[in-house]
Amino acid sequence: MVVGGVMMPIIGGIIGLGYGRKIGVEGSSKINIRSMRWSVVLISMELYESVIEGVKKEVKIWEWMREGVERVECGVISEKEVISMMWMVVVVGSIVSEYSRSYMKEEGERVRFMSIVNIFIGSMLVLVGSENMLQMYIGWEGIGICSYILISYWSTRKETGKAGMKAMVINRIGDMGIMLGIGKGYVSYGSVSYGVMKSVVMEEDKIMGIMIIMGVMTKSSQMGMQTWLSDAMEGPTPVSALIHAATLVTAGVYVVIRMEGIIGGKGIMIGIGGGSIVYIGMLGIYAQDIKKIIAYSTGSQLGYMVLSVGVGSSNNSISHVINHGMVKAMLFMSAGGIIHSRMEEQDIRKLGGGRMNVSKMGVIIGSMGIMGIEYSSVYESKEEIIRESSMSRYGEISSVMGVGITSYYSIRMIKRVIVSEGKKKKEEVEEKMEESIMKLSMIGVVMGYLSKEWERESWEMELGVREKVVMMIGIIMGIVKDKIKQREIGRIIGKKWYNEVWQNRWIGSKIELMGREIVEGIDRKILEECGRKGSKEIMEVMEKGVRRRGNVSKYSMGMIIGIIMWGWSCG
């Protein structure tokens, strides 16, 4: 059942990519959406077994490799936390797929878009359900590549290409950290399996922790590595709702939660998480693009999740991952509805006016939840994290400051988009889009009510007085003074903490110089001119010969068959 739930999106995506031209855009969209719905059904059945009945199991599909007694087997595990996370991914993925069918109705290349979304969801499920770090890494790379393709969807626009490349390059730094962490884990514990590592661990490995935290910093866009997330808003809104709110950005946090007890570096996580809450939250003060405000809000909330893991409260962190993912996806979809109805206008200075509709209601509900108003699921998990973070003074101060900052930019956004007057424009949001927004908002509110009913001992447990005062200050500032001039708070926040400036100056320009020297010195001079005729001339002669005969497709097929046979013989 759980294997079916993981494979359905991938199968739907592959059919869409492979046969999209034959079955048409509508046909492949239906296949993609139905495969997601089946995945929701299967994972929901598995959720009942694992959460309600407490069943734990591991389904092994095939043995990937063997080194002595150590075997790496690909499969899916079924535990409470794993299946809960999978359920969130497939529910959000399914609703976003239906939403994007309407949102992307007038765009080209829809087959490719919907199929890559499915493959992305499949990769995320592979990451979440893995029992070992190698399979987790397959999913990790899969979501990275799909994210690049989806961010750069509008490939004729220069900025989307740059944004996709930026996301890829910054995430490569984290990918390198994860790879090193896998190697270190094997050296330290003799295995890459989570279960084996947890059973043999004597002391948490700090160095491995630092390497894995590099992956968290980039994937979950923590302080210093957050520049790619705001630029990733170049992609279509369904991409932002699925990838940059609920799934890809939470992958780093999820991996750290799975490795609790194995890796050290909790102090670093508290530092990074607490710092990110304020560092990234402050960027929302100046942002004028509605999607960038929500993106900065996501980065700030991810800081809460990392902080929670650092103080040893992984249950609250996973709870916040799930609750926040749903509400933030709904917030992005609502913003997308507003953008779509206002002819692609994204600047909050121009979004005022017009009547209340489902999208605007979604923005209000989502923002209230993120701020910490009761009866939202996000409020419940955030409030627990704030309470647990009191174990660390630094964590406590940053989490409380985060409440005020979140309130400020959320109220500012609501004021500009919904309350303020503007030119009366005819706004029409597609019915299907409104349905998707309503579904997710209902799930978010119901989950919040249920978690308050089931998990709380007392109805009086709520945000402390201090947090409520800070929230009210943020709300009042957002209403009264929603324009902070550069002089008053300094250029530094307006320039996004000069992140891109120092990254380009100290890292980017040096790597570019090194790359240029390699191309000019080694590639063009040595490698091309080596040999009697030079490898360049040899390749040109070969290419002419192949092209003349017109057998390129046969040679490519031969190459693929050869690789498969070689892989078979090695296995």
Partner 1 sequence: MGNQVSMPAARAAPFAPNLTHKQRVTRLYRHALRTARDWEPDFDLFVKDAEKIQARFKKNKNLTIQEGQRLVEAGLRELISNRHPEPYIPPFAPGGTAYQRNVPCPPEDVNDLLPPPERRIR
Binding residues for partner 1, rule: CB under 8 A, are 107-108, 154, 156-158, 234, 286-289, 343-350, 352, 416, 420, 483, 485-486, 494-495
303, 420 contact by CB (below 8 A): no
Question: What's the min distance (Å) between Cβ of 243 and partner 1?
Answer: 18
Give CA–CA dist 566/555, Å, rounded. 16
For partner 1, which is the closer residue by CB, 353 or 464?
A: 353
Give CA–CA dist 488/36, Å, rounded. 49
Give CA–CA dist 360/99, Å, rounded. 16
Q: What are the structure tokens assigned to 258, written together?
A: 């799975």
Q: Residues with Cβ < 8 Å from 459, sequence gap 6 or more?
A: 452
Question: What's the min distance (Å) between Cβ of 185 and partner 1?
Answer: 42
For partner 1, which is the closer residue by CB, 90 or 348?
A: 348
Question: What's the min distance (Å) between Cβ of 302 and partner 1?
Answer: 23
Residue 204 burial (CB count, 10 A): 15
Question: What's the min distance (Å) between Cβ of 350 and partner 1?
Answer: 7
For partner 1, which is the closer residue by CB, 344 or 460?
A: 344
Q: Quick check: helix, strand or coil at residue 147?
A: helix
Q: Residues with Cβ < 8 Å from 239, sequence gap 6 or more?
A: 117, 147, 150, 151, 153, 232
538, 531 contact by CB (below 8 A): yes
For partner 1, which is the closer residue by CB, 158 or 532?
A: 158
97, 33 contact by CB (below 8 A): yes
Question: What's the min distance (Å) between Cβ of 405 and partner 1?
Answer: 17
Question: What's the min distance (Å) between Cβ of 288 and partner 1?
Answer: 5
Q: Quick check: helix, strand or coil at residue 55?
A: coil
Q: Which residue has the tokens 């765009």?
A: 107
For partner 1, which is the closer residue by CB, 485 or 532?
A: 485
Give CA–CA dist 516/522, Å, rounded. 10
Question: What's the min distance (Å) between Cβ of 50 and partner 1?
Answer: 42
286, 494 contact by CB (below 8 A): yes
- What CA–CA distances, in Å, run from 389 to 236, 283, 309, 451, 470? 36, 23, 10, 20, 16
For partner 1, which is the closer residue by CB, 74 or 484?
A: 484
For partner 1, which is the closer residue by CB, 77 or 104?
A: 104
Q: Let me know if 428 is exposed, middle or buried by CB neighbors in 10 A (0-12, 13-18, 19+).
A: exposed
Q: Let me know if 272 is exposed, middle or buried by CB neighbors in 10 A (0-12, 13-18, 19+).
A: buried
Question: What's the min distance (Å) between Cβ of 345 and partner 1?
Answer: 6
SS3 content of the chain, % helix, strand, coil (to 5): 75, 5, 20
Question: What's the min distance (Å) between Cβ of 157 and partner 1?
Answer: 4
Q: Quick check: helix, strand or coil at residue 189?
A: helix
Q: What are the structure tokens assigned to 405, written together?
A: 């900052």
Question: What's the min distance (Å) between Cβ of 344 and partner 1?
Answer: 4
Question: What's the min distance (Å) between Cβ of 538 and partner 1?
Answer: 32
- Chain centroid to CA 246: 6
Give CA–CA dist 559/561, Å, rounded. 5
Q: What are the structure tokens assigned to 96, written together?
A: 């976003």
Question: What's the min distance (Å) between Cβ of 483 and partner 1?
Answer: 6
Read off φ and ψ for residue 231, nearest 5 degrees.
Answer: -70, -25
Question: What's the min distance (Å) between Cβ of 412 and partner 1?
Answer: 11
The DSSP line for 249-294 is HHHHHHHHHHTBTTB--HHHHHHHHHHHHHHHHHHTTT--BHHHHH
Q: What are the structure tokens assigned to 474, written together?
A: 């943020």
What is the enclosing helix (H) or strand (E) of 73? Answer: strand 70-78
